[in-house]
Amino acid sequence: MFQNYFKIALKVLMRRKFFTAINLLVISLTLSVLIALTTMIEALMGSHEPEPPELLIIANTQVRNSTSFDHDGSLAGYRLLTQYAQDLPGIERMAITEFPSQTISFQNQTKTTLMLRRTDARFWQMMNFEFLEGAAFNQADYEAGKRFAIINEATRNQVFSGQSAVGQMLDLNGTSFQVIGVVRNIPDLRILSFGDVWVPISTHSHDGYRHDLVGNFVGLLQPAPDADIHLIKQAFQQQLQSVQFHTSDYDQIRSRVFTGWELVYALTSGNYYGDVNANRLHFFLTGVALLFMALPALNLVNLNVSRMMERASEIGVRKTFGASSGSLVGQFVFENVFLTVIGGVLGFGLATVGLGWLESWDVFRYTNFQINSRILGFAMGFTLFFGLLSGIYPAWKMSKLHPVHVLSGRVA
């Protein structure tokens, strides 16, 4: 049966090349955009090295005056993280880092702009970087404030001409650091670990940051495998109730523990301190994907109705010779799914080319977009859904035509 469906589908698609080309264009473009966007979201939000899975984040923090309502907000301060988030129950390890900032390196009279990230020693215990040379600094180095630097492969190639960099001195904004390690390039979409250069937080030119509740830091929490995330969040909120303020300007503080998806939702909604439901983001993205697929599907329904109206005489003859409505629906749906699968393959090719083009433009530094099996399965699922959605109604409508009306030309 399916062999006959396949043969008829090929003949039908080749009979009206214009309709076939229009259908393939709509399907392939729609699916290529969906695959590309899904791949980019996966690169941003998926579990990728060097960051461990199920990482929790303490980021946005605000202090307020309950009387005057004055407030000051930014990221978490160093004192908040070290005194009130260090020993939360259910947490195996906490690391502290800053988001990267631009710095200038003058090496051999050559100016190079690099992205500098400051971290503590636990950051290197938590993250799974691949070292090409050397190693990370340890807790003793960190506490001593040693001016050590870890650079990525691109920086080694750019600044040290690809030669061994361990032991070399690197100038960063007029301060010399000794290179002690070289790691693989980390894509800039890995916002919690990306950098060109990593140095200890303790190498700051001043130590005022150690006393701040609000600052420029992010706390990275690695929960135990059996930890209850909700209890960890509650414990942090209880810790905030005991915060000691070193100034009378403020007497309240707000912050929270985020999962990765919750942080993305907070960033997109601007809701940093209220209740955050990451499922809303999932539902929103799914709804956008369905809407994105539904609009071209409706256009394809109209095209398919027009295409099948031209086959009315064929339908009338087949029904006259005993073809059931079920077999006709199966034939028409198979043809449409077959068409969408071809469009899906073309869309996969277009998405691959488009993502490669983005990589060549260096819009996202060190990023290698990979369409993995999960994304491929997602794309194939939407392809089949797309084919069924745009094929069932026209197939059902045409299968219900009366053969006498069809053969007499009375088809509306």
Nearest to 214 by CA among 113, 91, 84: 84
The whole-angstrom separation of Cα 342 and Cα 305 is 20
Residue 182, SS3 per DSSP: strand
pLDDT value, residue 14: 67
DSSP-based three-state secondary structure for 76: strand
Tokens describing residue 63? 């202090």
pLDDT by position in tens, the chain (length 412) = 556 656 656 666 666 677 778 778 877 888 888 888 888 877 777 777 898 888 999 999 999 998 888 889 899 999 999 999 988 999 999 999 999 999 999 887 789 999 999 999 999 999 999 999 999 999 999 999 999 999 999 999 999 999 999 999 999 999 999 999 999 999 988 889 999 999 999 999 888 999 999 999 999 999 999 999 999 999 999 999 999 998 888 999 999 999 887 887 777 777 777 766 666 666 776 777 667 666 666 666 766 666 666 666 666 666 666 666 667 677 777 777 787 888 888 888 999 998 888 887 777 888 888 887 888 887 778 777 777 777 777 767 666 666 555 555 555 5
Strand partners for 301 = none
Question: How many angstroms separate the CA atoms of 343 and 53, rounded?
Answer: 35
**221 - beta bridge partners?**
56, 94
Q: Would you call 109 helix, strand, or coil by DSSP?
A: coil
Q: Which residue has the tokens 């693989």?
A: 184
What is the C-alpha separation between 402 and 359, in angstroms, rounded?
56
DSSP bridge pairs for 254: 62
CA 302, 305, 308, 310 dihedral sign is negative
What's residue 322's pLDDT? 62
* 8 A C-beta contact, residue 101 and residue 88: no
Rounded Cα gap, residues 202 and 207, in angstroms: 8
Domain layout of the chain by residue ranges: 2-47+280-407, 56-258
